[in-house]
A and B are shown apart, each in its own frame.
Chain A
Amino acid sequence: MLEQLTLGRYIPGHSWLHRLDPRAKLLLACYFIVIAFLTTNWLTYVLMFAFIGGVIFLTGLSFSYFVRGIGPLIWLIVFTAILQLLFTPGGHIYWHWGILMITSTGIQTSTAVFLRFLLIITMATVLTLTTAPLAIADGVEALLRPLRVIHFPVAQTALMLSVALRFVPTLLDEAQTIMNAQRARGVEFNNGGLIKRLRAIVPLLIPLFVGAIGRADDLATAMESRGYQGATNRTRYRVLKWHNADTIAVVVILVLNVVLVVLRHM
């Protein structure tokens, strides 16, 4: 059940996208998310979806894997879109009941919300699927480095991030084990009403927290015993290198931006 979600998971591979510099990938993914809001007419959406389709192709992973991975999140997106649909005034009113209404503006905004959400989540999935968690942490650290000027604790933040990312799979495994143990003791996580399901979470969460805190304690001890004292001026084992491919990727997304702006006004 937990393994279905693909967002935040890394699949090792050797595709062109896998080999891009994590700094480039982080920047490009953020850039893509920002320009996803420039979409207005159907042409711009076709362009963006064609682009993300191409990106998925470049990951070398099967298309259906993405579809199934985003599946669990689709309800969140649909829910957001429905809220937009029912509460947006303006334009022609097709139907209304109390404060709920369906208007032409509402249909437009909810469609936009739905499609943009889909674009953003797919891009975020591509980023995490093709970038190892530690590479993401390295990339974030490199990108945040200028903030050191204002005494922002960049190295510590990056360390926190990489520790957090490192323990996601561990905690997921542990959650699965505890769920199994409690199911074997008669807990039903997937049956019954809301209250019953929320109650079923308690025997899962308490052991999970106890385990996580114990683990954090062990990790702190292990780090201290190996002489960790804040992250000042540490040299690094994995040195990031900017290649031609990274420059090409930046050019591609800038071109995408220009085309997008042109299409907006057509």
Chain B
Amino acid sequence: MAITFDHVNYMYQPNSPFEAVGLSDVSFTVPSESFTAIIGHTGSGKSTLVQHLNGLLKPTSGTVTVDDFQLTAKTTNKHLKSLHQHVGMVFQFPENQLFDQTVERDIAFGPLNFGFTNEEAMSLAHQAAHDVGLPDELLNRSPFELSGGQMRRVAIAGVLASQPSVLVLDEPTAGLDPRGRAEMMAMFAKLKADQQLTVILVTHQMDDVADYADQALVMAHSNLIKAGTPAEIFADPEWVKAQQLALPTAANFAQHLVTRGFEFDSLPLTAEQLAIQLRGQLPKEGR
């Protein structure tokens, strides 16, 4: 499902003392079944942008197109329900949205709201729980008895159960330990491949951008200032630093190596690319 932003502006609380610009003339396209990362430092408009993807916010002017659904300032809330189902949103700390008596019922909550029968909803819930790696014996427990990481998986399953074709992830790994973070990202990559999802990831983790994204959008002060592949975004390390962003760990490491006399054709972004480029340059064993 392709997504297009066409000159989207958004104003917070217009005509009040709290008036503030949320988005300013943002235009871009996300191809179907791609992985797009949105980066930029805190308060740059990332979260505002993603809330337009399923109509939680409506543009003050301009058009958001998700497949054949058009969202403008005039779209009424009644028409948003199908959009809510097609675009699944995983918010920051999604475990805060859990409320039902059992894990199973909490996951099935979305599908039930979108008009699936009880039976269908339960089977979707079981499937989604399996997809996020929750063991079956947890399904009849209260979500509030689980560990933080498990709660987050329940919340993500609750979004996946409605069978969205676009998955929006707003800092899904915030607060997880490094291993939990790696597992979570690998899980999203697998979900994307298995279910042909279009994934949009808001993140501060540049390694995740380098490892997973096909395309990255850089936001600053409510504007979209750069769009391109991770290689294009990170090609100019000075510019990246000027935007108060970091380089991926591998790129950072490579830059330090350059000062020690190593040479790279292009800046490696992932550990794998770094290893390949280093292979020929390391002194041979036994010499």
Residues of A within 8 A of B (CB): 3, 11, 61-62, 64-65, 68, 174, 177-178, 180-188, 190-191, 202-203, 206-207, 210-211
Contact = CB atoms under 8 A, between A and B. Distances in A.
Interface in B100-144: 100, 109-110, 112-114, 144
Nearest to A181: B97
Contacts of A207: 96-99
B97 A191 contact: no
Q: How large is the interface on B (under 10, 10 to 19, 20 to 34, 35 or more residues)?
A: 20 to 34
Contacts, number: 73
B110 A185 contact: yes
B51 interface: yes
B91 interface: yes
Interface of B: 13, 15-18, 51, 54, 56, 77-78, 81, 84-85, 87-89, 91-92, 94, 96-100, 109-110, 112-114, 144, 158-159, 162
A62 B17 CA distance: 8
A207 B13 CA distance: 26
21 contacts: A68-B16, A177-B92, A180-B51, A181-B97, A182-B97, A183-B84, A184-B84, A184-B89, A184-B91, A184-B159, A185-B97, A185-B109, A187-B113, A188-B77, A188-B81, A191-B78, A207-B98, A207-B99, A210-B99, A210-B144, A211-B96
> 4 closest A-B pairs (Cβ-Cβ)?
A186-B113, A206-B99, A181-B97, A185-B110
Contacts of A190: 77
B77 A202 contact: no
A190 B80 CA distance: 12
A178 B99 CA distance: 11
A168 to B, nearest CB: 15
Contacts of A180: 51, 56, 89, 91
Contacts of A65: 16-17
Nearest to A174: B96
A203 B109 contact: yes
Contacts of B99: 202-203, 206-207, 210
Nearest to B116: A186
Of residues A62, A68, A181, A190, which shows the largest number of chain B Cβ atoms within 10 Å of its Cβ? Answer: A181
Contacts of A184: 54, 56, 84, 87-89, 91, 159
B92 to A, nearest CB: 8
Nearest to B158: A185
A62 B138 CA distance: 55
Contact of B97 (A3, A68, A178): A178
Given A191-B78, A206-B99, A207-B99, A186 B144 contact: no
Nearest to A182: B97
Nearest to A200: B113
Given A184-B89, A185-B110, A210-B144, A178 B96 contact: yes
A3 B81 contact: no
Pick from A68, A183, A187 the residue with the most CB of B within 10 Å. Answer: A183
Given A181-B97, A210-B144, A186 B162 contact: yes
A181 B168 CA distance: 12
A117 B170 CA distance: 44
A188 B92 CA distance: 21
Contacts of B13: 3
Given A3-B13, A65-B16, A180-B91, A186 B81 contact: yes
A193 to B, nearest CB: 15
Contacts of B87: 184
A197 to B, nearest CB: 13
Nearest to A62: B17
Given A178-B96, A206-B99, A185 B162 contact: yes
